[in-house]
Amino acid sequence: MLAIKNLTASVDGKEILKGVDLQVEAGELHAIMGPNGSGKSTLAHILAGRDGYSVTGGEVRYLGEDLLQLEVEERARQGLFLAMQYPVELPGVNNMSFLRESMNALRRARGEPEIDTLSFMKQVKEKARQVKLDEKLLKRSVNAGFSGGEKKRNEILQMAMLEPKLAILDETDSGLDIDALRTVADGVNRLRTAERGMLVVTHYQRLLDYIQPDKVHVLADGRIVRSGGKELALELEARGYGWLLEEAAA
C-alpha cells in the first residue's frame, strides 16, 4: 500500500531525512517512534504533501502511484489522511460544514453522490459521541479555542468520518490524559480493518498499551535505525533511545 524507498529530504538546506525505508501493507498498523527532532513529523508532512520540504532523493509509492507527484488534495481524495500533531485553528470556518464539505470532496472524487443531510447528521453525532467530542464543538469554528485534547479528538472524528485507506497519526497521543489517550486508541482500533493501513507516530510507548502494532520502527536522526515487533516498544520504554543511537552511530 505504502512503499517508501531511501527517502531523503531537507528543510532550508538542512538534511532531515537521510534515507528512510518503510513498507506498510493493507491491514497493517505500524508505529514509528523516535526522539524529538528525529524527523517524524517531517516524514508525515512529506507524505501528506505539505510545502516547505525538498525531497532530495528516493521515492514513495502509494497504491501503486508516485505519491510525491500528487497535489495535497489529490492524496486526500485517494484516501490518505494525516491527523496532525498541531491541528490548525480555522476561525470562522464552521466545524460541521467543513467536515461535510471534506466528506463530499472525497465522495465526488470516488464518483459517489454527496451525502444527504440526514445521514450526515446521524453519522457525525454518533462518531462525535464515540470520540467523546462535545457536540457543541461541532457547531463552532474548526479547532478555534479548542483545548489540546479537543483538537486531537476532532482529528480522530475527521478520520472516522473520512474513512481513509491510509491513516497517518502524528503524535495524536501527545499531551493527552489517560482518558483522552484511550479515546484516541479506541478511535484507531475501531478503524482497523483488513483494507486499511495505519502509521502511528508516537513519542511515548504508552499509546501502544492500547494499540497493538504489527511493527514498530525507530526513527533517529533521519533514518529508521531499528524495526521490530511490539516488544521493541517495551525495550525502548525500559532503556530509552540512547543505546539505539549509539549502536546506529557505531
Ligand X SMILES: Nc1ncnc2c1ncn2[C@@H]1O[C@H](COP(=O)(O)OP(=O)(O)O)[C@@H](O)[C@H]1O
Question: 2 is in the binding site of which of Mg ion, another protein, ligand X, none (Cβ under 5 to 8 A by kind)?
Answer: none
CB of 217 to another protein, least distance (A): 23
Binding range to ligand X, per CB under 6 A, among 10-18, 19-27, 133-141, 173-181:
10-18
Point out which residues bind Mg ion (CB under 5 A): 40-41, 85
Residue 145 binds to ligand X (criterion: CB under 6 A): no
CB of 9 to ligand X, least distance (A): 10
CB of 47 to ligand X, least distance (A): 12
Residue 36 binds to ligand X (criterion: CB under 6 A): yes
Point out which residues bind another protein (CB under 8 A): 48-51, 71-73, 75-77, 81-82, 84, 87-88, 90-93, 98, 101-102, 105-106, 109, 141, 158, 162
State which of residues 34, 87, 149, 164 lies at the interface with ligand X (CB under 6 A).
Answer: 34
Spell out the SS3 assignment of the chain: CEEEEEEEEEECCEEEEEEEEEEECCCCEEEEECCCCCCHHHHHHHHHCCCCCEEEEEEEEECCEEHHHCCHHHHHHCCEEEECCCCCCEEEEEHHHHHHHHHHHHHHHCCCCCCCHHHHHHHHHHHHHHCCCCCHHHHCEECCCCCHHHHHHHHHHHHHHHCCCEEEEECCCCCCCHHHHHHHHHHHHHHCCCCCEEEEECCCCHHHHCCCCCEEEEEECCEEEEEECHHHHHHHHHHCCHHHHHHHHC
When the beta carbons of 52 and 242 are compared against ligand X, the nearer one is: 52
Q: Which residues bind ligand X (CB under 6 A)?
A: 11-12, 16, 34, 36-42, 52
